[in-house]
Structure 1
Amino acid sequence: MPALLLIAHGSRDPRHAATVAALVDGVRARRPGLDVATAYLDHCAPRIPQVVGRLDDAVAVPLLLNRAFHAKHDIPAALRAAGARLPVADVLGPSPLLLAALDRRLAEAGLDVAPAAVRARTGVVLAAAGSSDPAADAATRATAAAWQRTRGWAAVEVAYAAGSGPRVPDALAALRAAGATHTAVAPYLLAPGRLPDRIASSATDADTVADVLGPAPEVATLLLQRYDQARTAAEAQLPALTA
């Protein structure tokens, strides 16, 4: 069975690598016997060239929520530079599992997400990193719309920690103007760091502030889904390549 090569961005913040390690533990617990390796694009070790050389067979799975610059350019370029021709799985989003992970983090922060009446009066800010790629921002907005539609929130507004677009205080004001009597901020980010800290510090007026997605069980399950999908697609191409 091919190894799962988890490719994370990396950060100078030590909480980032600790979160990735906890997520890898969750993946291993769900698939005992699967070789799971980690490589980073920047800041952390090991880097991609240090890891791919010891893997006989692997599927690369990006630890990314949207198809932006890192997914489209950085990861393929890093794999090429390392001489690795590996199947590369799709990014994590969009997925119902991410919505479930967002629900989990809000519940852990103290919001009773189960009653429909609570959701109907709660407005949520989906706080993302922000991207210069319009398609990535569109995917985040689509996730917000799906979350509101499937859960029955009073409203879901998107805010960004960087780049252009509304900030968390703007989104909170929009939720209150729309009639939400309870407001919550849900970071749409995978690991702690500078941008999640910026979101939290700007959310002091919110009634509930959730943690990042981190090693939520749904994220570990989703990583394995993406691995399986990429492995199946690669195996289906083998007869055509060898014919």
Structure 2
Amino acid sequence: MSAPALVALAPGGRDPQAVATVTALVAEVRALRPDLRVEVAFLERARPSFDTVVDRLARAGHDEVVVVPLLLTNEGSASGDVARAVLAAGERHPGLRISASEVLGVSPSFLGVLDERLRDALRVHRVRELDALVLAGEGSGDALANQTVARLARMWGARHHLPVTAAYATTAPPATGEAVRAFRGQGRRHIAVGSLFLAPGALTSRAAELALEAGAVAISEPLGAHPEVARGVLARYAVGAVELVPV
């Protein structure tokens, strides 16, 4: 009996860099598990679409699929879009058992990726000293999702013995610029921003722009295609595959 296929499902977007980053991340997943059928799909705009990928897997004879949503927070509207897409795919292919795992989410293991990305940014800008950190995430209308980012921010600050603030690109305050200005108001001048985004995009660019305008000394690149993030995808897949097993 073959393992269920894995579909890494991203929201999609118009930014070619974002599509390339997600595609590279899925390549990392394949490298870790070459025995699995692993596909990348997008909910909108970018290709291949989710429907196209599911149809392809059904034609190839797969009867089980686990969808891993490539979302760092369980934001309501995006999660709803995933649920509706999975339900529609199941109705279109009655012989296909398809389920969605929990979203990728943010794991404490991602702190190492944040550190790596930030070290690269500090090296480029020749920054040798820091006295505060800002962790920039997407932000959500869901308070629990924002609390998840804030909790990771506290862990990150404790890891480096530095004060840290979580900031958000949408919906929830503070924005990255506000967070940087608040630290500068305390007399801190060496403030770096870690990008808790999966891939580049409009929100990532806006968060970086606001931070630089406020006086941040460096902003890291998004998490991107990293083996640790790929392991996070596989961890979600493993739980989803177990749930497909009949009791």
TM-score range relative to shorter protein = 0.7 to 0.9
Residue number in structure 1 paired with 2:170: 162
SS of the equivalent of 1:202 reads helix
CA distance in 2, matches of 1:25, 1:153: 35
TM-score by length of 1: 0.87
CA distance in 1, matches of 2:161, 2:184: 13
Of all paired residues, the percent bearing the same amino acid is 40
**Is 1:5 aligned to 2:7, yes or no?**
yes
**Is 1:52 aligned to 2:54, yes or no?**
yes
CA distance in 2, matches of 1:95, 1:164: 21
TM-score by length of 2: 0.85
Distance 1:199 1:65, change over 3 A: same
CA distance in 1, matches of 2:122, 2:239: 35
- CA RMSD in angstroms comes to 2.1
Matches within 5 A, 1:1-243: 1-55=3-57, 56=62, 57-70=64-77, 72-83=79-90, 85-110=97-122, 122-149=131-158, 151-178=159-186, 180-204=188-212, 205-235=215-245, 238-239=246-247
The answer on whether the counterparts of 1:5 and 1:36 sit within 8 Å (CA) in structure 2 is yes
What CA deviation, in whole Å up to 9, does each residue of 1:78-127 have, x standing for no partner? 1112226423222222312221211111112126xxxxxx6xx5311111
**1:201 deviation in Å?**
1.3
Aligned residue type for 1:86: I
CA distance in 2, matches of 1:11, 1:101: 23
Q: Which runs of 4+ in 1 moved over 6 A?
A: none
Question: Any unmatched runs of 5+ in structure 2?
Answer: 92-96, 124-128
CA distance in 1, matches of 2:11, 2:156: 26
Q: How many residues align?
A: 230
**1:181 deviation in Å?**
4.9
Residue number in structure 2 paired with 1:115: none
Question: Any unmatched runs of 5+ in structure 1?
Answer: 112-117
